[in-house]
Amino acid sequence: MPLTSQPIDTSIYATITAAIRSEASRLFTAAEVVAIIGYAAARRVGSAQPVIITDAAAAETLIFTEACVNNLAVYLTKAKKEIPKKGKIGIIVKGCDLKALVGLMGESQLKREDLYLIGIPCAGVLASAVQPATTLTTETIASKCCECDVHLPLGCDFVPSVTLPPGPQMESRYSEEIARLEALTPAERWAYWKEQFAKCIKCYACRQICPFCFCEQCLCDRNKPQMVETTPRPAGNTAWHIVRAMHLAGRCAGCAECERVCPMDIPLNLLNRKMAKELKELYDYEAGFEINDKGPLTMFTEKDDQSFIK
């Protein structure tokens, strides 16, 4: 983290809140959507929580603040059954959340025409360890926001017309940590991850929050045959986290929700970022930018690295 913390200008968030409220109201009045997934104020001052609204009256509850950290894309897969099935669904998306939607569209889970995307020009959100109602600074900002490359989501149906004030330059905290781990010997690295995975209590919060863990029956819950040991013991924990990392390789766009919800503070997004780095280096691929292209791991081209064939 930088030694001196610099404030980040979030003055536009008030304008954004007003804009999404009026747009939501318009959408319900014009019957363009049946529901909108967004954020509303939660009980603690300054905090926010996801909300699904179904009428124009509720539009006034919508907000966008530096506490709106959740990736709402997950509600289009996991909680989909609780949302009315017929008609378009509106969703508030930050740039990082949009990447997940793009991935889900590529994997036949969502259709673009079934969604009304309300894009948010986003200067950043607070880190999960920070108390709500804290000022957003280069210190209190979430790690994922330090390396954000989509402050302004593209291709949305509605984006509040505000101009993002230029923010301070920030170093990627994940890259720093990956570089530190890469410099270790394999034995040291293994010791580090063993220690991290040993903390896991198999609560599967990481699975529940992940927009890409959309399987109705997770293979880790299978018992005939049992693929992964389910009790929180070292072998099963390691197997679970390796399966998770491998299944997200080439798909995870880095919303870091897994890391945010982990009660044991396992640096889960670090694994995901490392996989993404490998994909970038091996296949020049970054997840979340294009719909319907085959992922690098489900495709072969003659340019692919074949040095592993000996």
Structure tokens at 221: 């819950």
Among 169, 225, 231, 310, binds another protein (CB under 8 A): 225
Q: Which of 11, 161, 217, 223 binds another protein (CB under 8 A)?
A: 217
Nearer to another protein, 106 or 124 (CB): 106
Q: Which of 11, 163, 223, 298 touches another protein (CB under 8 A)?
A: 298
Q: Measured from the CB of residue 112, what is the shortest distance to another protein in angstroms? A: 16
Structure tokens at 147: 């390396």
The residues in 130-159 that bind another protein, with binding defined as CB under 8 A, are none
The number of residues that bind another protein (CB under 8 A) is: 18
Contact 55, 127 (CB under 8 A): no
Of positions 1, 31, 133, 299, contacts another protein by CB under 8 A: 299
> Minimal distance in Å, beta carbon 215 to another protein?
4
Between helix 234-248 and helix 268-283 the angle, nearest 10°, is: 40
Is 135 or 226 the residue whose CB approaches another protein more closely?
Answer: 226
227 binds another protein (CB under 8 A): yes
Q: Which of residues 85-124 bind another protein (CB under 8 A)?
A: 107-109
Site residues for another protein, window 181-200 (CB under 8 A)? Answer: none
Choose one: 47-55, 153-161, 252-260, 295-303; the region binding another protein (CB under 8 A): 295-303
Shortest reach from residue 134's CB to another protein, in Å: 38
Give yes or no for a contact between 40 and 49, defined as CB atoms under 8 angstroms apart: yes
Separation between Cα atoms, residue 310 and residue 296, nearest integer Å:
21
Q: Smallest distance, Å, CB 276 to another protein?
A: 17
242 binds another protein (CB under 8 A): no
Comparing CA positions, the residue from 56, 212, 49, 33 lying closest to residue 118 is 33
Stretch touching another protein by CB under 8 A, among 118-126, 135-143, 180-188, 210-218: 210-218
d(C-alpha 96, C-alpha 41), whole Å: 21
Among 218, 242, 261, 264, binds another protein (CB under 8 A): 218
Strand bridging mode 48-53 / 115-119 = unpaired
From the CB of 264, what's the least distance to another protein, in Å? 24
- Is residue 222 near another protein by the rule CB under 8 A? yes
Least Å distance between CB 79 and another protein? 15
Of 141 and 279, CB closest to another protein: 279
List residues near another protein by CB under 8 A. Answer: 107-109, 214-219, 222, 224-225, 227, 247, 294-295, 298-299
